[in-house]
């Protein structure tokens, strides 16, 4: 009775995990599989129950040895596995439970590499953010004093001298604009979330687009208001919209949907995806892996902060952003937790 209660409890816990997971008995037969595992293996839980995991994950001999080690209270991992159908590579993480069952987490190789890339991006963004904030704050106060003094000087001169001073004011303002850019990529602590209609926010960003730009909206009308930082999210949308236009696009598609099978660290529940697809110039292949790093740009003009800010905003919301670019089709997808408060 105790064992059955423990297994029932384990099944309930597994059903809510934000990773692909199966629960096995001592004979490596499936006791439970959460929805993500069912999607990864392309089999319903009803069909999985009682089946050996080796029916779906290979090679069989290595899997048997792997599970035998896990049954001896080891927490182990291996990236030697693949699906029987399709031969998709997987990493497995297994550990023994107190009731004798074995929990197995399945991580698709592509997802693992993507997670590592996201982690590297996050570390890079954090490091650059700290440097940017330190330098920006060091510059901002003396810059304000310099502008004030230059403004005062402009009121006391005339003729050629006034023209020179006004040129100085313009240079000071350009420096201030650059400093403000530094501050935008710094971390935002305790950002205040509030209910936001995501479709109304997108519409407000693209409301005044030029007539020669065709815009398509592929919105899921069932998406409710959810908790976001409206001003910061607007900034991210505006940056992606500007990128599409600057790439020479004449067709831009905005798409929203509820995603199933997308895992966000620290979040259990629905995930919203906001995708912008454009038909402008492709992103150069040599910078695609670095697009979200500060100061990386494929444009002749620009400071390379736009996509770094997009990533910062998405991370503030607990999400992730992905890019895919090829001839005549570039897409940016923001995955955001759909929290209703």
> For residue 183, what are its two tokens?
């501050």
What is the mean predicted confidence (pLDDT) over 91-118? 76
Residue-wise pLDDT tens digits, 229-272? 898 899 899 999 998 998 889 999 999 999 877 777 777 788 99
Class of the domain covering 194-337:
alpha beta
Percent of the chain surpassing pLDDT 70: 76
- The more confidently predicted of residues 58 and 74 is 58
Report how far residue 80's alpha carbon sits from residue 299's, in angstroms, rounded to the nearest whole number.
41
Q: What is the pLDDT of residue 207?
A: 85
pLDDT at 167 over 90: no
Q: What is the pLDDT of residue 98?
A: 81
Q: What is the pLDDT of residue 121?
A: 61
What is the mean predicted confidence (pLDDT) over 169-190? 66
What is the mean predicted confidence (pLDDT) over 278-305? 69
Q: What is the pLDDT of residue 219?
A: 96
Q: Which CATH number fits domain 2-108: 3.30.428.10, 3.30.450.20, 3.40.50.1260, 3.40.50.300?
A: 3.30.450.20
The answer to whether residues 33 and 41 touch, using CB atoms and an 8 Å cutoff, is yes
Quick one: which of 174, 173, 131, 177 has its CA closest to 293?
131
H/E element, 80? strand 76-83
> For residue 144, what are its two tokens?
């304000």
pLDDT at 218 over 90: yes
Report how far residue 73's alpha carbon sits from residue 139's, in angstroms, rounded to the nearest whole number.
56
What one-character DSSP code corresponds to residue 312? H
Q: Across the chain, what does the average pLDDT equal?
A: 80
How far, CA to CA in Å, does 19 sit from each of 66, 181, 247? 20, 37, 37
Percent of the chain surpassing pLDDT 90: 28
Q: What is the pLDDT of residue 334?
A: 94
What is the mean predicted confidence (pLDDT) over 183-192? 57
What is the mean predicted confidence (pLDDT) over 337-341? 84
> For residue 30, what are its two tokens?
């499936």
The answer to whether residues 257 and 273 touch, using CB atoms and an 8 Å cutoff, is yes
Vertex 170 angle, CA 165 and 175, to 5°: 125
Q: What is the pLDDT of residue 272?
A: 94
């Amino acid at each position: 009775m105790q064992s059955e209660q423990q297994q029932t409890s384990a099944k309930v816990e597994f059903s809510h995990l934000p990773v692909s997971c199966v629960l096995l008995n001592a004979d490596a037969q499936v006791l439970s599989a959460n929805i993500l595992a069912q999607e990864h293996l392309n089999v319903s839980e009803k069909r999985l129950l009682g089946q050996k995991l080796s029916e779906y994950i290979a090679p069989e001999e290595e899997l048997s040895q792997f599970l035998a080690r896990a049954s001896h209270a080891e927490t182990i991992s291996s990236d030697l596995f693949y699906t029987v159908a399709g031969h998709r590579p997987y990493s497995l993480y297994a550990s023994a439970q107190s009731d004798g069952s074995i929990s197995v987490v399945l991580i698709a190789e592509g997802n693992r590499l993507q997670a590592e890339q996201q982690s590297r991006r996050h570390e890079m963004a954090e490091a650059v953010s700290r440097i940017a904030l330190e330098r920006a704050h060091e510059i901002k106060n003396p810059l304000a004093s310099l502008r004030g003094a230059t403004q005062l000087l402009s009121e006391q001169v005339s003729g050629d001298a006034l023209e020179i001073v006004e040129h100085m004011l313009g240079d000071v303002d350009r420096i201030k604009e650059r400093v403000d850019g530094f501050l935008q990529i710094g971390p935002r602590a305790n950002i205040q979330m509030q209910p936001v209609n995501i479709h109304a926010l997108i519409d407000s960003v693209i409301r005044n687009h030029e007539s020669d730009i065709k815009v398509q909206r592929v919105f899921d009308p069932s998406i409710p208001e959810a908790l976001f930082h409206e001003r910061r999210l607007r900034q991210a949308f505006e940056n992606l919209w500007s990128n599409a236009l600057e790439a020479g696009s004449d067709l831009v598609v905005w798409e929203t949907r509820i995603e199933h099978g997308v895992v966000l660290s620290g979040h259990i529940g629905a995930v919203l995806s906001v995708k912008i697809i454009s038909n402008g110039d492709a992103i150069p292949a040599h910078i695609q892996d670095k697009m979200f790093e500060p100061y990386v740009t494929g444009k002749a003009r620009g400071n390379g902060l736009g996509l770094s800010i997009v990533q910062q905003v998405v991370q503030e919301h607990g999400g992730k952003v992905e890019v895919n670019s090829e001839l005549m089709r570039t897409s940016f997808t923001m995955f955001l937790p759909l929290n209703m408060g």
